[in-house]
Amino acid sequence: MKIFKNISLKPYNTFGIDVKAKQFVSVNNIDELKYVLLSSKKKTKLILGGGSNILLTKPFDGIVIHINFKGIEIIFENEDFVYVKANAGENWHEFVIWCINNDFGGIENLSLIPGNVGTAPIQNIGAYGIELKDVFESCEAISLENHEIKTFSKSACNFGYRNSIFKQEAKGKYIITSVIFKLTKQNHQLHINYGTITSELKSMHIEKPSIQDISKAVISIRESKLPNPKIIGNSGSFFKNPIISKNQFNQLLENFNDIPSYPVNDEEVKVPAGWLIEKAGFKGKRFGDYGIHKNQALVLVNYGNAKGKDILKLSKLIQITIKRLFDISIEAEVNIL
Ligand code: EPU
């Protein structure tokens, strides 16, 4: 384990923003992590997983702790279910593929999401009708205060749309070290009703899809809409989809009869921020090295050497415009530092 000084964080954030960290250390197990925590008590810390949900707007004047714990193991199984424990530093998509290759179901709709296993519960990652909470059993996390390991059950995590206890009361207090998933071994519950999956499977000429087919369909949809961060820097959806009252939605329908929505409860609906941003004319706009992706307006992109500050400014402009045009506040999903 080596502590590096004045290192560029460009390879460690999927936005590809080039800012320096005063110190950087990659830890491979809990003992190394405890050692680093003990020896850097007074320093400002940034805990980094896959770096896929962060916008760096300035140099980091503390220690970056990169969680690199690897390992996947089956901890219990019966005829129907398997409980798999994955360590926090496992790449999310590689873990999904491992599950699919073993024919463990439940996670296939979450194929190709960037990031690591340990950061997935923080914002309850979700796509194509499934959220992490649907396959989550529990996770272990180390307390930054007393360095004790605590187990969080599903209910303790208080999962919501792109939300969990780790973004609320427990924010900045724990580092997730491993996650246990409950997956199916037979009678897989397939979720193919999310519009584009059905049509993708049709175009693949598949009538009775397996979890492998669904994963392929999701990969194909994501590749067609979302930029590959290895080629164009980005952090996936920059904003959350806003939740508005049905009253406000009905008023908007009078002016915009094509506005899509997803049900939330009796009083509220969720509106796709991507639709609002496209309607506001931002989709595909490029300002030098940064802009809004041409296929998905929810994704802000870095074409090369964009500064985090510029992307932040653009996000503020988008927020103000959406507020002015639709009287809707859209909130960043990405953590801004
Ligand atoms: N839409 C537009 N213009 C756009 C983008 C979307 O009009 O530029 C419309 C689409 O036509 C569709 C609706 O908005 O009617 C929804 O679009 P899409 O299915 O692409 O999903 P989304 O709501 O934009 C969410 C997640 C994505 C996830 C997809 C698929 C959030 C913030 N984003 O996007 O998650 O992949 O659903 O389930 O909830 C991520 O979090 O990084 C992410 C990519």
Per-residue pLDDT band for 97 (boundaries 50, 70, 90) equals: very high
126: helix, strand or coil = strand
Give the CATH number of domain 72-225; options: 3.40.50.1820, 3.30.465.10, 3.20.20.70, 3.40.50.1010: 3.30.465.10
Cβ(275) – ligand 1 distance below 6 Å: yes
- Read off the pLDDT of residues 7-36 as tens digits, 9 standing for 90 and up: 999 999 999 999 999 999 999 999 999 999
Report the pLDDT value the prediction gives residue 194, as an integer from 0 to 100. 83
So which residues are the catalytic ones? 162, 237, 333
Q: Which CATH architecture has domain 4-67?
A: 2-Layer Sandwich (3.30)
Report the pLDDT value the prediction gives residue 193, as an integer from 0 to 100. 86
Looking at the chain, the domain(s) classified CATH 3.30.43.10 span 4-67
* CATH 3.90.78.10 describes domain 233-336: yes
Report the pLDDT value the prediction gives residue 2, as an integer from 0 to 100. 92
DSSP string, 137-189: EEEEEEETTT--EEEEEHHHHT-BTTB-GGGTTTTTTEEEEEEEEEEESSS--
Report the pLDDT value the prediction gives residue 294, as an integer from 0 to 100. 96
How far apart are the CA of 122 and the centre of ligand 1, in A? 20
Can you give the pTM of this predicted structure?
0.95
Atom 27 of ligand 1: nearest residue by CA position: 127
How far apart are the CA of 128 and the centre of ligand 1, in A? 9
User: Quick one: angle between helices 195-203 and 211-225, nearest 10?
Assistant: 100
How far apart are the CA of 298 and the centre of ligand 1, in A? 7
How far apart are the CA of 274 and the centre of ligand 1, in A? 6
Atom 4 of ligand 1: nearest residue by CA position: 274
Structural contact between residues 330 and 239, judged by C-beta atoms closer than 8 angstroms: yes
Ligand 1 atom closest to Cα of 161?
39
Per-residue pLDDT band for 95 (boundaries 50, 70, 90) equals: very high
Average pLDDT over residues 92-100: 98
Looking at the chain, the domain(s) classified CATH 3.90.78.10 span 233-336
Ligand 1 pocket test, pick from 275, 294, 331 with the greatest ligand atom count within 8 Å of Cβ, gives: 275
- Read off the pLDDT of residues 137-196 as tens digits, 9 standing for 90 and up: 999 999 999 999 999 999 999 999 999 999 999 999 999 999 999 999 999 999 998 878
Cβ(260) – ligand 1 distance below 6 Å: yes
